[in-house]
Amino acid sequence: MKKRIAILGSTGSIGKQALEVIEQNPDRFEVEVLTANNNVDLLIAQAKKFQPNVVVIANPEKYEYVSGALKNEDVKVFAGADALNQVVQMDTIDMVLTAMVGYSGLLPTYNAIKAKKNIALANKETLVVAGEIITRAALENQVEILPVDSEHSAIFQCLAGEFRNPVEKILLTCSGGPFRGKTIKELQNVTVDNALNHPNWEMGAKITIDSATLMNKGFEMIEARWLFGVPSSKIEVVIHPQSIIHSLVQFEDGSIKAQLGLPDMKLPIQYALGFPERLKNNFPRFSFANYPTLTFEQPEPKIFRNLALAFEAISKGGNMPCVLNAANEIVVDAFLNQKVAFLQMPEIIEKAMEKANWIEKPGLDDLIQTNSETRNITKLLIENNK
């Protein structure tokens, strides 16, 4: 039986690489659903090639264009956010790969879990915003959440066979991004292009900026907290510029397990799709000859304030990580549009966290409201900042 996959966000970096993995394993996987926000031409090309049952274009204004282009194919076309929330529940889906950007991943992921679909989770913001609700829903519906994020895939692999052994510490590795080692002064005038130039990973714009500010690592800490049930006090960020060790787990006897490999997202994608099997592939192999030195440093949360803010948000708990995420989405967008400077991003996020209405035990509706309120607060802070 082939595993039938729905890819939410098929035109993004993870979506495209997932389709490469599927293409290389045609006897294992079948594409059932493809979705995209706006990139219609690529979505159409993917639909023609992979012949999914359904495609969804999230932007309803682009429905006519997509359905017109696919009118001679045996592919159903839907549009809009509601369609996205419905198609993830289709009987013919075995696994949903969530590879969309940001908060938009939350509701489709929640609906897929409610419909008992296993999740290959690439959209970490879902767990940042609503980690408690999502992990509880997964437990109640006996759904597996398989991490696609390379660090979390590494931790997951280190934990395999260790279910009775408590974790003493998770060591979450971080490349340090393009501005590793820079001083506050040096960060004052960095440009969007500087920030988009990641040393090791080719990714979409939003996550690349998050990697430069270390918000990505803050989010990954929160993601790890929920995926593995380990409190943030037991998660330590380690800068490892070569991105070969994808993360480590330390057990109570002091022993540390690590997972290593070249920085290639196809490996964690394939692991999540194929789990529990390891599928043979011809990806380039790691060689110590090419990497004679692996190095480690401590992060600088005084310079990269976002990392400290993420730890603050998760220890405050409730809806505060949701506030953190919403404020971050707005400032990153503003930075990409050159409306705020690099170092203003954490300043504005911190102010948004101060202004937000804290809710100790938010339900899903509270989080939806927190998200939209925080976006408005943050936009106003940016306006007043000029």
Residues that bind Mg ion (CB under 5 A): 149-151
**What's the half-sphere exposure (Cβ side, CA atoms, 13 Å) at 101?**
20
Cα gap 174→152, rounded to integer Å = 12
Q: What is the CA radius of gyration of the chain?
A: 20
Considering the complex, state which of residue 104 and residue 150 has its C-beta at the smaller distance from Mg ion: 150
Cα gap 336→342, rounded to integer Å = 10
Tokens representing residue 19 in the block: 């389709």
Considering the complex, state which of residue 56 and residue 122 has its C-beta at the smaller distance from Mg ion: 122
Considering the complex, state which of residue 30 and residue 151 has its C-beta at the smaller distance from Mg ion: 151
Query: β-strands 245-251, 256-260: how paired?
Result: antiparallel
Nearest to 204 by CA among 29, 39, 48, 379: 39
Considering the complex, state which of residue 46 and residue 98 has its C-beta at the smaller distance from Mg ion: 98
Nearest to 332 by CA among 349, 320, 315: 349
Cα gap 197→200, rounded to integer Å = 9
Q: How far is the CB of 147 from Mg ion (least distance, A)?
A: 9
Nearest to 109 by CA among 90, 86, 129, 126: 126
Considering the complex, state which of residue 33 and residue 101 has its C-beta at the smaller distance from Mg ion: 101
Considering the complex, state which of residue 151 and residue 300 has its C-beta at the smaller distance from Mg ion: 151
Q: How far is the CB of 152 from Mg ion (least distance, A)?
A: 7
In b/e form, how buried is each residue of 213-225, taking b as 16+ CB within 10 angstroms? Answer: bbbbbbbbbbbbb
Considering the complex, state which of residue 211 and residue 370 has its C-beta at the smaller distance from Mg ion: 211
Q: How far is the CB of 174 from Mg ion (least distance, A)?
A: 8
Phi, psi angle pair for 106, to nearest 5°: -60, -60
What residue type is 377 in one-letter code?
I
Considering the complex, state which of residue 53 and residue 150 has its C-beta at the smaller distance from Mg ion: 150
Q: How far is the CB of 261 from Mg ion (least distance, A)?
A: 13
**What's the half-sphere exposure (Cβ side, CA atoms, 13 Å) at 302?**
4
Considering the complex, state which of residue 218 and residue 346 has its C-beta at the smaller distance from Mg ion: 218
End-to-end CA distance of the chain: 58
Residue nearest to Mg ion (CB): 149
Q: How far is the CB of 252 from Mg ion (least distance, A)?
A: 26
Sheet holding 54-57, edge to edge: 76-79, 54-57, 29-36, 3-8, 95-98, 118-121, 145-147
Considering the complex, state which of residue 270 and residue 374 has its C-beta at the smaller distance from Mg ion: 270
Paired strand residues for 5: 31, 95
Q: How far is the CB of 68 from Mg ion (least distance, A)?
A: 38
Q: How far is the CB of 224 from Mg ion (least distance, A)?
A: 10
Cα gap 274→144, rounded to integer Å = 13
Q: How far is the CB of 172 from Mg ion (least distance, A)?
A: 9
Sheet holding 256-260, edge to edge: 235-239, 167-174, 245-251, 256-260
Q: How far is the CB of 208 from Mg ion (least distance, A)?
A: 12
Q: How far is the CB of 210 from Mg ion (least distance, A)?
A: 10
What element of type H or E holds 3? strand 3-8
